[in-house]
Each structure stands twice: as structure tokens, then as C-alpha cells.
A and B are shown apart, each in its own frame.
Chain A
């Protein structure tokens, strides 16, 4: 890797990380697992002046059940979430998602907070956070997931703000996450997540627009007693998915419908 030059500092706590970010100025970036940032540095598509390394911020590596909520620290690695018995018991869909990220090396490095802050259209956890009405906790505030993600690679985070935790509702019921991809370690070309709650089904879609999507039309049809087939037919309603070398927008719409139906069938 031949990135452009940058300064580097290592933070041991949230407080230190935020102080370092503030001092380094607006061109600084946080590096957690680095699984998205390093490729961007390699291509020089990202040329930060300063990297604040938060891998030493141990206080953000945890899974805490609390009442009917599951609090997961931002520095929790994919592999930790995939294996965590607490996650498997209280929010097995998160464990299922984490187990499907990349390959073992990526899962050993990448973090929940990194995926949330990076806000890639193909990121998996934003889908879960949006569909379950999770809360993103930063060093200074709490933001509803639906308000957090603004656009492709864009969130409400200030330049010196750090994602610290995601608070999910517990959801031990039927669930499934299906990722359509060409290679096992690829991003989803389209992903569909379904979760049954006491109040009904929640349905989320990955990589069908600039940000994660909650498929409200599908949820509404299910609520009204539609079959999975009928409900899933609404999965692409209102979507403006991207067209790229992997898939056309039409194909992504089609996949959204197929994967939603299959996820519902497999979850139930």
C-alpha cells in the first residue's frame, strides 16, 4: 500500500480519541478495523491528514444486555458478535449478519462502529439498525438510526465525533439475513433482512439505494395479512437502486423482491 502521507496517533480511551480528533482538525479520520478505510487509502481516494487509531479503546468492546435492550460497543469485532452467546440469545440476527461479513481475517478486524460510521450503501449493520429502530450513541449524543444515516458515506457525525455504541432492541424471534453476492467474501449486491417482533415483521434492505432501507410497504402488507409472496412483491416500491458492473438497477429491484420473500420463508 502506497497511501499519501498522514499523521498517526493512538487513543486509549474515548476521551483521548475525541481530543486527538479535535486537535488534528477537519481532515482527520478515525481508523478502527480499517477494512474499508485501508483500501481507500491504498487507492488514494481518501487522503486524511491524520489517523486516530481507536483499536486501543478497550472500553468500547462489549455486549451488554440491559432490560429489553442489547447494547453493543462500537469496537466489538464482527467475529466477537458472531460468536457471542449474548448476541445469539438476544439478537441472533446480528450474529447471523456478523458471521456473513467478509472472510475470517476481515471479521477478526472489522468493527460494528466502523461499519456504522462508514455508512457504505452495502454495509449490513445499518440495515439492521434502521429496521429495528436502533439508537446510535456517540461521545456526546444519542441519535435514532433512521436519522443517523444521511446519504452514501454520509452521517450526522461531526468531524470530531466518535460512534461509541449501538443500542438494539432485543429480538429473539424468527429472523433471516440473505445476502446476494458473487463471492463469499463480497459485499452484498443486495441484502434482505427480516425479523419477527411481537408487534409484527420488520424488513430491511441493503444496497438498494444510497443508505439502508426499511421496507415499510412490505411490513404493512404483512401486517394486513398478505402472504409472503404478496408482501415481498412490494419490496422494491419506491427504490432507486444503483446500477454498476455487478448489477443493473432493475436486477437489484428484482433481487430485493426475491430475497425478501425467501428471507421471510426461511425465517418463519
Chain B
């Protein structure tokens, strides 16, 4: 696809003037007449039996409308919160989960009661007055301990704490290891992270007995799935539930799955006959919004002395938290992607999902792919270290080069040019120059390290064949609807959801270019289940452009096909004799005979249409991609570790990525920068910490949970190569998660490279100053 006027153009984000001048509309900006406010009473314990709940003092406060507990909610809600098969279809223990605890709480922050009052402050005051009597039970927060015999049970009526235990076998692993000349082993931690969207979660619900209709406003990446789940739990026909997710202030995966409050707030509205709103506080967010990562890997890699990679054997222990996240098993895709961009004879990957008394984990930006990449890239670096090879050389020796490339688990990488991104990244980062400077620095006793990460990503979910089973029924395709209104304005509805991705701009560029109308003529709409096609599939997994964008593209093509017939009719020509350029149909050889698409659109609402043609100019299209898409790239990080304080400073960061064709380079760069920032945050700063003894969250505020700011982050040098995907007409891949997948390995490889002279070969995340200082102390002994 060629770069034309709008495709490939650095169009400034259309949504920004509204958002940066305070005209965004987030959940707390929505209100309704008679609105009431809900506060949640939460368990302070990681594990306890509920002996009694006394709401009398709370009810006595003037303005308090209700104190509701599980007994009340059982009257309007049924079933257990959904758990999908995802990448661990063979589940073992899946505890039932009702949105509010019944007789036992299994993580700190689990809802126990709710208070509804006439204002938010009063609701919070009343929540403090609800007296819950608990009998504490033994808790376990460490997943490896939870796996062991004799561990406390996360649910007192559970058989054990094992959510799943299955092995992905890709090739003959024993044969691969039997030929090994070198084997390296490592234990690699993926700490828990809190997604920390700028807008916390929030739900407003209004149940109307008239017509039994429910309207829900909630901060979600996935409004149609929420409608499906909530309508089912409340026994209201799906068609009578409307979910609106207006401006959403970031998600990073944390707003894909349904939450307890998504059920409790509408249920409270139904019980009370009043509209109800709940807005999550930041403290609640860190404690009760899903966490990401939380995995322990043990791995061994085998190779020949010449650097030929043979086999990779690994175990992923995945900390599920107290319940399975709806898409929690998606994170097992770390196993499927653990081979990265390399040819391996065999990979064997065991994944064990383990319950613990903590908030559930679920997909967080990258979800499984950062973990798989980090593992693979760490093991390759360990191997290079062991073999005494330059890590770039070892990578090059093992790159997959023939595409489509089928990996050990049968996944087909659509296209790639791993040498291309690596070459460019080494050049742009001045890799050779840094190696020389590193040698000089080492001579002075300074600790400078250079780290590489050559990454590939599976994204763009669908296709239907692979995803219908993974979600438990709904195939991940995407829908779009485009309609010309008589005036020539274009309404385009997408089933994806934008919460920072810039779809309003990118998708409008795509539609405007395809239909030949001005960008301003396109009204891009999403996030309201009352509009557009019957179902939308939401935004996650870097899928919006390669699936949703393609749905818009195919809908545009359908519109053009009809418009061509009508234009031919109006111009008294044959459709085949028309050319469509710059938004107008002209008769070949007679440029005077011309109809713009807006003229055709107006005519489509008139009389005298061709025989058999209906009025209107609109189309609904679903796009089912034939494969996933597979973006890739190479990142280079240079760090210096302060030998005295252990502080790691990034001296230089370079990322060269390839996401195929690009609609808006500026938005792509923004996504890559943000992704890198979030991954550096994991590598050096962020970690959710629970006290091992008490099970209490120790990092409950932004003072202790260290989200870095622009002051702490480098400005990366970025470039791209372009290897189009052959699987869609636009040749596009995804870019939303790329930086997050790539960066942690580059940073940690650099830190390890810096510390190598001290005999340190591995560092876990976050590579905080105190951790590095401790490692250096131990190495010095």
C-alpha cells in the first residue's frame, strides 16, 4: 500500500484538543438526576471467614439508603464470574466467584458489603461504620509456596491451589538436550505490577423498571463483552442493556475483564430503583484492579559450542491470585512465545497456574509476551555469556529467516526481517562505539553495560479459528459500520475501543483516504453498545488496526462498490468505465463526467435508483483475519551502574521496530515510547509487594509503588523498517504493546552486562539500587 495523502501522514491527534483542554468526558463526568453513590466495604485480611456483618450504625446515618451484602445481591445476580480457556484450556481447580464475598474472603480488598448514600463522602463515612466480624484463616501469598504440599488453602473448601498444570511440547526436547555442548540455567522472576491507568475504574448504572432496561456507563476497553456478562448475570436480555464507555483514561489491559463492581453497581440500582455511581479511589485501584505479570520462570537452554541453539525447557509458575482472572490464562502465551525470533529444535514449556490470597492477575500490556521475550532474551544472553560470543552475533546465528516461519508450537509468523531491524538498531545506537567506550569505562572501574532485545510479538487477535475456543465461544473478529448521511458526512462505528491509542485519528485517516472524503467529514464512533454493529470485540492485544481497521476498510470497499454502481447509473456509464480518484467517480476518457462521492451519497437517498438498489449508502462488515500478525524489532540499551549506590542509569536507548505499513507515524512513535517507558518501569522501578507473613499489601500508594515519570526516563532514539503483513490488505501489524514487550530484556541485559566483571550473571526486576547493591555486596564476598 502506497503512502498517499492521508495514509502514512503525521496527522495530529484529533482527540487531543478536547482532552487537553478539560473537555474529555470520563465516568465521573457523567451524572443522572437522583444519582446515588456507592462505596465498597472491603476485606482488610488476605483470608478470613466472615462471621457477621453489622450495618446498623451505617444505616443510622441520615442520607444512607442501604447497606447491602451477598444475601441481597443473590436475589438479583446469579452465576459465577466468567473464566475463559485462553491459553490454558485444561483447568484444574477453578473456584466459583460471586462478585461479593459470601462467607469467606480470599484476598485483601475483596468486597464484603456495599453502602449506597446520597453523596460520596457520606457513603465513604458509612462504609467505615459497617462492622464486619472475621475469623482470620491461614493465607499464602507466595505462588511457589502455594504449590507445595501442606500449603495453606487459598479457599478453605478447595482441593489444593492448582488452577492448571499443563505442558506445551514443541519438538523432541530430550533429543535436543542430548546433543547439547553447553547448557545454561536460570531462575527469572516477573514481579507483580499494578497497571495504574490515569483514570481509575468507575461504574454508573441506571436500571429502569419501565421496559426493564439497564444502562451502564463504565470505564472499559471492552463494552460489548461487559454487556454480555452483566446481562447474563442479571437475567436481562442483552438487547435491553446498554453499555457506554466514553472517554477512558487508559487501560493497559486492566479494563478488559469484568470486575465485581460492574455487577454490584447495576444490581444496587435495580434493588434501590435509583441510579448509582461508584468511582474507584487510587488506593482501591492499586489493591483491587487486576495486577499483571507475577510469574516465576525456571529455564534451561541448550546449544552447540558454535552457538547453534538446540532446546529450551522452561516452567512458568503463574500467580493467579485468589480467583482466575477472566483472561488470566492468556498470560500462559509466554510459553508459546518463549522461543522468540530464533530457530530451536525443540521447546518444552510447562505452565502452572497457582492460586494465592492476592488480587487476581490478568492481561497487562503485553500479557505473556513481555514475559516470554524477557525469558528468551535473557537465556540467549546467558548463552552468549557462557560461549564468549557477542550477543548480537549469537542472535544473528539463530534468527528465523524464511517466512512464513512456523515456530515450535505450530504458530505461523507472517513476515519478518530480523536482520534488518538488528542492523539498523546497532547502527543507530552506535553499538560498536559503545563497546569501545565500555572497554574504556571498565578500565576505569566503571560498570557500563549494553543490552539487546530482539523481539517478536503475536498480536491482532482473532483469527476466529484460533480464538472462538479460547474465549469460550465468541470468535475475536471485528465489526465496523460506515454510513453516509445525506449531507455527505460519514459516521464510522467500530467495535474496538480507544483509550489512548488515537483511533479517532488513525481510523478517520483510513476511512477518509479510502472513501476520498475530507478527514473532517468522518465522525469516528465507538464505546456505546447502542450504536453500530451488534457486537464489538474491544481493544487489547494490539488488535485494533489489523482487525478493526480492516473491518473499516472492507466496509469502505462495500460502500464504494455500491457507490460505483449508482455513480455509473447517474453518469449513464458502465461501472467498469468509472475511475475513482480523489473522492470522485469520473468516466474514463471524459473527466467532465464526474460525480463526487458526496453527490452519490445524496443521490442514494433520492428516487430513480437503479433497478433493485435500495436507498442509503452504508455497510456493515466483519473482518476475520486469516492469521495473527507478528511485529518485531531490535532494541539496544546502554546503562551505567553506580558501583557504590547500585543505581542504574540509562545512558542511551534505541528501538527499531517493524509493524508493517503505518497509517500515522506520530501515533506509532507515541505508542512505542509509551511502551518502552512502561517496560523500563518494570525493569527498574515498579513492584507490587505483599508482606509474606501478614499478606498485607505494602505498596498501596503512589509513594511506594514507583511509577517513574518523564524525569526518570530516557528519550529513546526510534526508527522503523517496513515489512508489510501479507495477511491483510493494508499490510499492517500492531504496535500498542511492542515497546513493553521489547524493553525490559534490553534494560536487564544491559544491567547484567554491566555487572559481568563482578561475576554477576543475572539480575531480577526491578533492578533497584538496593537490589543491585546487595548483589554486588554478595559478589564481593
A interface, CB within 8 angstroms of B: 2-5, 39, 43-44, 180, 182-187, 244-248, 251, 254-255, 258
Contacts and interface: CB of A to CB of B under 8 A. Distances in A.
8 contacts: A2-B124, A184-B711, A186-B703, A247-B770, A251-B774, A255-B645, A258-B644, A258-B645
A227 B644 CA distance: 18
Contacts of A254: 773
Nearest to A261: B644
B570 interface: no
A201 B577 CA distance: 92
Contacts of B773: 251, 254
Nearest to B283: A43
A185 B774 contact: no
Given A254-B773, A258-B645, 7 more contacts: A182-B685, A182-B708, A183-B711, A184-B712, A245-B704, A251-B770, A251-B773
A255 B774 CA distance: 12
* Residue of A2, A5, A187, A254 with most partner-chain B CB within 10 A: A2
B121 A180 contact: no
Chain B residues touching A, majority SS: loop
Contacts of A247: 769-770
Contacts of A186: 703
B181 to A, nearest CB: 41
B239 interface: no
A84 to B, nearest CB: 24
A246 B770 contact: yes
Interface string B162-196: 00000000000000000000000000000000000
A39 B283 CA distance: 11
B305 interface: no
Pairs A-B, 8 closest by C-beta atoms = A184-B711, A2-B124, A251-B770, A258-B644, A247-B770, A245-B698, A245-B689, A182-B706
B120 interface: yes
Nearest to B702: A39
A104 to B, nearest CB: 11
Interface in B691-719: 698-699, 701, 703-704, 706, 708-709, 711-712
A2 B712 contact: no
B28 interface: no
A5 B62 CA distance: 14
B768 interface: yes
B164 to A, nearest CB: 31
B645 A183 contact: no
A71 to B, nearest CB: 33
B531 interface: no
Nearest to B706: A182
B768 to A, nearest CB: 7
A183 B685 CA distance: 9
* Residue of A4, A44, A251, A254 with most partner-chain B CB within 10 A: A251
B281 interface: yes
B128 interface: yes
Contacts of B770: 246-248, 251
A264 B769 CA distance: 22
Interface string B106-139: 0000000000000011001100100000000000
Contacts of A2: 120-121, 124, 281
A4 B121 CA distance: 7
B704 A182 contact: no
* Residue of B125, B685, B699 with most partner-chain A CB within 10 A: B125
Contacts of B120: 2
A27 B332 CA distance: 53
B699 A245 contact: yes
B281 A182 contact: no
B242 to A, nearest CB: 29
Contacts of A246: 704, 770
Contacts of B281: 2
A43 B701 contact: yes
B640 to A, nearest CB: 16
A251 B712 CA distance: 21
Contacts of B768: 182
A184 B712 CA distance: 7
A5 B123 CA distance: 12
Contacts of A3: 121
B709 A183 contact: yes
B645 A44 contact: no
B446 to A, nearest CB: 15
Nearest to A255: B645
B780 to A, nearest CB: 12
A58 B704 CA distance: 35
A185 B711 contact: yes
A186 to B, nearest CB: 8
Nearest to A262: B644
Nearest to A258: B644
A226 B148 CA distance: 56
Nearest to B711: A184
Contact of A183 (B124, B698, B699, B706): B706
A76 to B, nearest CB: 25
A44 B121 CA distance: 12
Contacts of A245: 689, 698-699, 704
Contacts of A180: 645, 647, 769
Nearest to B766: A182
Nearest to B282: A42
A99 to B, nearest CB: 14
Interface string B667-695: 00000000000000000010001000000
* Residue of A180, A182, A184, A187 with most partner-chain B CB within 10 A: A182
Contacts of A182: 685, 706, 708, 712, 768-769
Nearest to A251: B770
A266 B647 CA distance: 19
Given A2-B281, A251-B770, A251-B774, A44 B711 contact: no
B770 to A, nearest CB: 5
B645 A185 contact: no
B45 to A, nearest CB: 19
Contacts of A184: 709, 711-712
Nearest to B709: A183
A187 B706 CA distance: 12
Contacts of A244: 704
Contacts of A187: 703
Contacts of B698: 245
A186 B709 CA distance: 11
Given A245-B698, A251-B774, A258-B645, A5 B708 contact: no
Nearest to B771: A251
Interface string B269-287: 0000000000001010000
Nearest to B647: A180
Contacts of A258: 644-645
A4 to B, nearest CB: 7
A43 to B, nearest CB: 7
A44 B774 CA distance: 36
Contacts of B774: 248, 251
B709 A185 contact: yes
A5 B698 CA distance: 27
A4 B39 CA distance: 14
A5 B125 contact: yes
A53 B120 CA distance: 24
Nearest to B691: A245
Contacts of A248: 770, 774
A182 to B, nearest CB: 5
A246 B705 CA distance: 10
Contacts of A5: 121, 125
A195 B4 CA distance: 64
Interface string B538-582: 000000000000000000000000000000000000000000000
A176 to B, nearest CB: 16
A230 B121 CA distance: 57
Nearest to A187: B703
Given A183-B711, A251-B770, A4 B699 contact: no
B772 to A, nearest CB: 10
A248 B769 CA distance: 11
A183 B712 contact: yes
